[in-house]
Amino acid sequence: MSAVATAGGLDDRVLDELASVLGDDHLLTSRPARLHRARVPAPFPVHRWADHVPDCVALPGSTEEVAEVVRIANRFRVPVVPRSGGTGLTDGAVPLRHGILLDLKRLDAIHEIDLEDRTCTVGAGVNMLKLNEVLGRHGLIYPDDPASYPCSLVGGRIGTSGWSLVGSRYGHTRDLVLSFVHVLPTGEVIRAGDGGGAKISKSSTGLNLKHLLMGHQGTLGVATEATLKLYPRPEAELSPFWAFEDYDTAHRTLRELVRADCATFAGAVLFDEEKVAYLRRDDEAYIPQPENVRALVCAVLYGNEDEVRAGGRRLMRIARANGARYLGDEISEGDWAARHDRYATPLHGRTKSGQVIPMSWHCEDAAINWSRLPAVRREWHAIIARLRAKSDVFDDWGMFAYTSGRTGVDYLTEIDVGIWEQELDDETWAMWVQAKREIAAVAVAHGGSISACHGACREGEVDVVPDELGPAYDVMRRLKRTLDPNNVMNPGKYGFDGAFEEDLT
Amino acid sequence: MSIEESEATGAPGAGPTDEFVREWRNAAYNCYSSGHKFCREVCPVMQVERNESWTPTAFHANVVAMEKGELSIEEVASDYVNCTQCGACELRCPNTLFTGDFYRFRTRTVDLVKAVRALAVEQGIHQPGYQRWNLLTDERRHEPVLGEFDGDGIPVDQAHVADWAADLDLPIGGETILFVDCEAAFYRTSVPRAVAQILKLAGVEFGLMREQWCCGGPAAEMGYLEQAKRFARHNLDDWRAVGVKRVIVLDPHDYITFTEDYPKYFGEEVDDLEIVLAVELFAELIREGRLRPSVPIERTITYHDPCRLNKRKGIWKEPREVLRAIPGLDFRDVDRVTQWSYCSGGGAGLPVEKPELTAKISGRRLEKAAELEVDTLVSACPWSERPLSQAGDAHAIDVVDIHELLAESLGIEVGGRRGA
Amino acid sequence: MTPFRHGEQRTPPSARRVTDVAVMRFEHIYEVDPRLMVDHVRQQPFPNWDTQRIAGSRHDHLAWMHRHWASVVVSGEELLDD
């Protein structure tokens, strides 16, 4: 039997064993059930949908069932691909080798809300917005706020090591998750945390496995339950938006706002000139502004009202001193509250002649130091311009840069590319994959990271991963081999198959 | 390819599925290419089942799959049972909520579900419950709301459709008629009795139809479009025959049928027909002082926003006005946006085909009400009140219709019955 | 309360241009220039009540999202002169 789990086509023995663990109702083999769990929102080669369809779908209702499924997969050398919300943007949940699609959405219970130490424990299938509707009644909040906040699930946040729009104050998923129940690729179950305590945020006992077991895209197992750190629900929110006549001024002002060191500062976003031009396509997003508004910066503060006001006053002064014009409360408040919804609007796609077309949306997410943002911006727009010159299938929707931390050392740097999915074929897909490679290479060349948060296992960018990681990449392969000797967990992702080459000779 | 190109080539084929796919292609890709999935956590079915195959996303992706030849209508038809057509998904979808009005192009999951159900029926693929229900409706002209064999020996048919009004001395015909849906006419007769007596108290002149048939809405929701249109034609002809200019409805489902389906069937022919929602009329009459609820009702209540008022039509203000005008109530409200994710599970034939799923959804709705420590859940939709009442028993929460409550506070002895 | 009349709902008010890509028919509600939706994506029949429902719901949703995260939204305009 091959040590490397091979493409599926599950026989009846495997299906029977799975059914006896899950119950017939929770093992799905129909074609629609499998097709719907083949893709995630990242642009998808629709013309090759069948390439990524799993052989069956498991809907476990408990950690024990998850562990059993994984043990069965090991016995039969069948791939297992975990799928939480299926809202990731790096194809982490796309089955490269068919196999068992492990759908975690039924794990949606809130097991405990601890009002004393301010934690809660939830199943991996819980959505943060729905959780916060409950926590709000206790004056608490779990402030993990990605663009997918209304629909992404806790398990996926762990599997991708998610990033939050308000991470500069509250931290990101890795800071907010205290510990989690984790099923290893062999089916053993452990708790991954800082040390062994479930509700501990900082420990130096033993080796820290928590961060290793976050962000692996399902290649090192799957989380089934998490204990979360809770904050007081903010008393006040302030989200000013400022307009600038050019990108460079906006870029410099961004640095000054961050350096103000306001305790309630939760994040800032820089919109480049191409992004502002794109937003002008939809005057709902953006009340018409004069021509000389070319770049924007917004900042957001959360906390108690005294501190938010004090911080706000200082930021307003700094912005004005740098030549910014405040866009007013209506835009500032509305656009911040709309932050999750402003992303993938397909009808903002345009042909070169300006006609409306539905476009899918690619969102790059490199991590780039502030000092390198202008150069990365120039190079990325040039890559997309070359693409668009070759084909109407691609469109440049501009760039965002978001603070990842309160010191402003690095930014989640995003270029949004519209892709006319209806018209994709092998030729345009290949153009796209090459562009992805080039985009990723730019990030690495500037000392950054291919991905701040989605992951880097998409076609194209994954080829650049060894360049970014250097010798550390081989350590990752060795860890993969150690923890997943049969290569059942999401095989093929991240090029980790390379860890198993010896077994093939 | 452009619209002209795809229409000219008639690619890929000329069968009904191909026509359907061509019509829905852009809408399907608008969802497929977006990836937002904000529809999911507001979907009442998704909240209880957690099955991604039964989501608005999957409903749209099926169209793309059919276009690519990856799936057929036979394979997906039964998945579309799992929807109450509440409209939460298509409203919450950013392609509606943020840019639907900008582009005059929004997400239309409700229409899609109806269209797929109709496509299935057209091709001879039937869901057994739906088929039986619509067959019986066709035979009797009304939905079999008292069961196939008429529970309590009360026949559901033309001769008895106005029995609820027997002692109310209502005329037949006139410029304004009151249309009463099947569930209210036969099952929860206290609702139309309350409405009729409130109208009389306020001095609003109205009559009943000569020959009221089911509005046809449920048939359309379940995919029996030919029957829906036939019933609609009958009702419209009956109205015209007696000079009806205005139709008052008490049921949100009828409000949707008459303001959306009938215009689609009849176009300009119904341009001047006025449709009035009873609860909106009552709110106005209260504002004008023509109705003065004065009998205190000592209940601790919360209000269930019917999906077909709040989400589908944006009507949420008037029912609350009515409730706030009733003395004695301790009203613990839940805002209309939070209620986008609430549902009774009673819509679009779901209780007909999968009553256990309806029960799960209404159970969840009652759990939310119970958290508020109320003794009463008030709804403005007769179809919601049956599943909600059944779920209410477990929580000792009484489920009451807003018209019943208003009538009581106006000192009216409503009569009739609140279901079986 | 205005009763529903389909005849009034199906014809939107006429458009006036507000930018080179957008028009306006209802106060404060922007719309794409319909000439940009000819070749590939056609506009849907859109009764007036639907436009109003969406605009009203958007406003309600934004207010909800503010309340979901914090009790008070501080006005930037008030802080400008400090």
Per-residue pLDDT tens over the stretch B246-301:
999 999 999 999 999 999 999 999 999 999 999 999 999 999 999 999 999 999 99
Q: Could you tell me how far CA C64 lies from the centroid of its own chain?
A: 17
Lowest mean pLDDT among A168-172, A281-285, B97-101, C43-47: A281-285
Partner A contacted by C11 (CB < 8 A)? no
How far is residue B48's CA from residue B118's CA, in Å, rounded to a whole number?
26
Taking alpha carbons only, the member of A361, A240, A342, A343 closest to residue A296 is A240
**Contact (CB, 8 A) for B83 and B89:** no
This prediction has a pTM of 0.96
Whether B63 has its CB under 8 Å from any CB of chain A: the answer is: no
Contact criterion met (CB < 8 Å) for B38 and A282: no
Share of chain B above pLDDT 70, in %: 96
Q: Which of B101, B262, B276 sits opposite C51 (nearest CB)?
A: B101
* Band of pLDDT at residue A7, cut at 50, 70 and 90: very low
Mean pLDDT, rounded, for A124-137: 98
Residue B38 touches chain A, beta carbons under 8 Å: yes
Give pLDDT tens digits for A450-492: 999 999 999 899 999 999 999 999 999 999 999 999 999 999 9
Q: What's the pLDDT at A352?
A: 85
- Give the CA-trace dihedral at A148, A153, A154, A155, to 10 degrees: -120
Instruction: Look up tokens 């950690």; give the residue.
Output: A63
| Pair of tokens at residue B146 | 């008292």
Q: Could you give the 3-state DSSP secondary structure of residue A292?
A: coil
pLDDT value of position A266 = 98
- Interval A61-95: pLDDT, tens: 999 999 999 999 999 999 999 999 999 999 999 99
Q: What is the mean pLDDT of residues B73-86?
A: 97
In chain A the first and final C-alpha atoms are separated, in Å, by 13
pLDDT, mean of residues A348-375: 93
Give the pLDDT of residue A4. 44
Q: What is the pLDDT of residue B30?
A: 87
Local confidence band at B26 (pLDDT 50, 70, 90 cut-offs): confident
Q: Does C82 touch chain A (CB under 8 A)?
A: yes
Model confidence at B12: pLDDT above 60: no
Q: Among residues A218, A97, A231, which one has the least CA distance to residue A157?
A: A218
Instruction: Kindly report the number of other CB atoms within 10 A of residue C75's CB atom.
Output: 16
Summary mean pLDDT of chain A: 93
pLDDT at position B14 is 65
Measure B355 CA to nearest chain C CA, in Å: 31
Put simply, the answer to whether A32 touches B53 (Cβ < 8 Å) is yes
Name the residue among B34, B50, B102 with its Cβ closest to that of A106: B50
pLDDT grade, residue A46 (50/70/90)?
Answer: confident
The predicted structure's pLDDT at residue B92: 98
Report whether pLDDT(A284) > 60.
no
Confidence of residue A377 (pLDDT cuts 50, 70, 90): very high
Nearest CA in chain B to A393: B1
Partnered with residue A267 across adjacent β-strands are A300
Query: What are B315's two structure tokens?
Result: 């009507």
| Count of C-beta atoms within a 10 Å radius of residue A361 | 25
Contact B201, B401 (CB under 8 A): no
Q: What is the ipTM of this complex?
A: 0.97
Name the residue among C22, C40, C58 with its Cβ closest to that of B3. C40
* Residue of chain B nearest C49, judged by CA positions: B313
Averaged pLDDT, A99-126: 98
pLDDT digit string (tens) for C4-35? 999 999 999 999 998 888 899 999 899 999 99
B97–C49 CB contact, under 8 Å: no
A488, A77 contact by CB (below 8 A): yes
Work out the average pLDDT over B25-46: 91
Q: Mean pLDDT over residues A396-421, rounded? A: 95
Chain A residues whose CB is inside 8 A of the B338 CB are 133
Asked if the C-beta of A463 comes within 8 angstroms of chain C's C-beta atoms, the answer is no
Residue of B nearest to A151 (CA): B38
Q: Give the pLDDT band of residue B44 (cuts 50, 70, 90).
A: very high
- Contact list in A for residue C74 (CB cut-off 8 A) is 236-238, 301, 305, 308-309, 312
* Chain A partners (3+ C-beta pairs within 8 A): B, C
A273, containing H or E segment: helix A273-279
Over 50: is that where the pLDDT of A5 sits? no
Give the A:C interface size as CB pairs under 8 Å: 104
Which of A237-246, A262-271, B270-279, C19-28 has the lowest average pLDDT?
A: C19-28
Q: Is the dihedral of CA A247, A248, A249, A254 positive or negative?
A: positive
Residues A219-244 as b/e (b if ≥16 CB within 10 A, e otherwise) read bbbbbbbbbbbbbebbbbbbbbbbbb
Supply the pLDDT for residue A283: 56
Average pLDDT over residues A282-301: 81
> Mean pLDDT over all residues of chain C?
94
Q: Is the pLDDT of residue B20 over 50?
A: yes
A3 and A485 Cβ atoms separated by less than 8 Å? yes
CB atoms A333 and C38 under 8 Å: no
Separation between Cα atoms, residue B378 and residue A180, nearest integer Å: 42
Q: What is the pLDDT of residue A2?
A: 44
Name the packing angle between helices B190-201 and B278-287 (round to 10°): 30
